[in-house]
């Protein structure tokens, strides 16, 4: 662990003390730019999936009692591969966006149109 810390401090020192050198640019690209690009891909769906898993796992552990550790050990790899295979985060993002949109819309116009339709004899 100490070797990793020393290596990272050395890389940081190279980037700080000699930023125009080719080595500093390579280190900056590998340790700053690429991780930032990967983190930029995290969307609301990923965060929602993380929050759901963070709520579901303790709830399952509470319900399962002593069997929670083996249960989590068996389930987490499957959940991770399922989420990666089907891009569940996009589906969750769409569901959350749909619920937010539905909650923010006003449906008074639809109720008024339905009443007019019934009054005009459209309901048969």
pLDDT at 124: 53
pLDDT at 122: 66
Indicate the pTM of the whole model: 0.42
Locate 40 and state its tokens. Answer: 């930029």
Domain boundaries, the chain: 1-41, 43-124
pLDDT at 104: 64
In a 13 Å sphere around the CA of 25, the CA atoms on its Cβ side amount to 3
* Alpha-carbon span 115 to 11, nearest angstrom: 71
Q: 63-78, pLDDT tens digit by residue?
A: 777 776 777 778 778 8
pLDDT at 4: 84
Residues of the chain with pLDDT under 50: none
């Amino acid at each position: 662990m100490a070797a990793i810390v020393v290596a990272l401090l050395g890389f940081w020192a190279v980037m700080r003390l000699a930023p125009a050198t080719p080595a500093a640019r390579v280190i900056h690209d590998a340790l700053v730019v690429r991780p930032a690009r990967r983190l930029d891909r995290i969307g609301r769906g990923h965060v929602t999936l993380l929050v759901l898993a963070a709520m579901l796992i303790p709830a399952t552990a509470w319900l399962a009692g002593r069997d929670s550790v083996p249960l989590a050990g068996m389930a987490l790899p499957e959940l991770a591969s399922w989420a990666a295979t089907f891009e569940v985060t996009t589906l969750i993002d769409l569901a959350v966006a749909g619920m937010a949109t539905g909650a923010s819309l006003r449906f008074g116009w639809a109720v008024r149109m339905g009443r007019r339709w019934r009054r005009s004899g459209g309901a048969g």
